[in-house]
Amino acid sequence: LWCHGFLKAAALKGTMPQLEATQPTGLKILVCGPSASGKTTICRFLSTEVETLVQPSAYIETKGVRILECERNLPGRGNQQCEIWDVSGNSQFESCWPAIMQDVDGVVLVYNPDKDGHDIEIGDWYDYFVKNNDLEPSQCIILAHHPAQSHRGMTRPPPKLKAVKVVDTSYDTAITTVLQQNFDDFLVECHDKKNGR
């Protein structure tokens, strides 16, 4: 079932979902985290909608959720269909989250460790989207996204997230290849868990 808020947000975007009784054969990946952390830019890059990870000129809030479809060539697994669900960080869409979480295979958490409070918020997002879905830590990856291209160093998430892989990202072109590789490795974990490997 899809909530009214989700359908309203989809209608505003002109992308009404096709509701089907069958479970999707590809991977369903949620990208969540605090508002203004870079989720949409990262989603567009990972889905190959854009070729480079470029800082947007202005912040535009996602309304509800935005779904991007792509095909990824995963190491040892071949081509894999993937839906990337770009979930709004605005709590006004929280009533939609139970419907959005249905049949999820993995969660990408994105936050800006340079913003006050994001490190605490990311733990709450983990509890809601990962723990509530009984996903394992391998079915989650954290992207610590630094808008400043000059960032160098390793980000440490809250202690309760120590079992989850953390990848530092920025708009530095040298980091984009690392981001793609880590995302594909994460998708392999989600693929194997879904297929009982």
Confidence category of residue 19, pLDDT binned at 50, 70, 90: very low
Could you report the per-residue pLDDT of 125-157, keeping only the tens digit for each? 999 999 999 999 999 999 999 876 655 556 677
Sheet holding 65-74, edge to edge: 65-74, 78-87, 27-32, 106-111, 140-146, 165-170
Q: Amino acid identity of 58? A: A
> Is there a contact between 52 and 45 (Cβ–Cβ < 8 Å)?
yes
> Encoding tokens for residue 100?
């959005």
CA distance 17 to 158: 35
Q: What pLDDT score does 69 carry?
A: 95
Confidence category of residue 59, pLDDT binned at 50, 70, 90: confident
Average pLDDT on 9-37 reads 67
Block residue for tokens 């989250």: 97
Report which DSSP code applies to 131.
G
3-state secondary structure of 12: helix
End-to-end Cα spacing for the chain: 29
The DSSP element (H or E) to which 118 belongs, if any, is helix 118-129
CB proximity list for 37: less than 8 A, separation 6 or greater:
89, 110, 111, 112, 115, 118, 145
Q: What pLDDT score does 16 carry?
A: 44
Q: What pLDDT score does 50 carry?
A: 85
